[in-house]
Amino acid sequence: MDKMVEFKEFVKGKPELVHYVRNGEMTWQKFYELYDLYGTKEDVWTPYQNETKKTVEKATTAFGMAEVLEWLKTVDLDSVQNGISSMQRVLGVLQDFGSKEEVTKPEYKPRPLYKHFED
């Protein structure tokens, strides 16, 4: 098995490592180097396992909500509204093409020769 795949499997078993990466205290590269040098020895990983699962879950949930709120702050509502209105126009045109009603023009009646401009 590839060393990187083994590391990924190891990280799946230790979800508390994500907390350190998201806080900026560690990087995945540094964790991988520790894993590459020491493997799965518990004494190397104990400083990073002190967090309880509840704290990690709260941190990831709060980070997710904060991330969503930051994304919502950056959304330009005018561009969203313009996109929605253009989609409505496109759908209206497609509905017009899709309707099978034939438009009938009024029947052509030639004007009598002796009549000039609605006399």
Is residue 56 assigned to a domain? yes
Residue 109 is classified by DSSP as -
Whether 73 shows a pLDDT value over 60: the answer reads yes
Q: 57 pLDDT band (50/70/90 cuts)?
A: low
Is residue 99 assigned to a domain? no
Is residue 8 assigned to a domain? yes
Residue 40, amino acid: T
Question: What's the angle, vertex CA 95, arms to CA 92 and CA 100, rounded to 5?
Answer: 145
Is residue 87 assigned to a domain? no
Is residue 119 assigned to a domain? no
Give the domain range for residue 22. Answer: 3-74
For 49, the token pair is 């396992």
> Is the CB of residue 21 less than 8 Å from the CB of residue 31?
yes
Q: How far is CA 97 from CA 76, 84, 88, 106, in A?
A: 32, 20, 14, 21
| Strand blocks (E) in the chain | none
Percentage of the chain beyond pLDDT 90 is 9
Length reported for the chain: 119
Is residue 104 assigned to a domain? no
Per-residue pLDDT, 98: 76
Whether 88 shows a pLDDT value over 90: the answer reads yes
Is residue 90 assigned to a domain? no
The domain total for the chain is 1
Whether 8 shows a pLDDT value over 90: the answer reads no
Supply the pTM of this predicted model.
0.42
What is d(CA 10, CA 16) in angstroms, rounded to the nearest whole number?
12
Is residue 64 assigned to a domain? yes
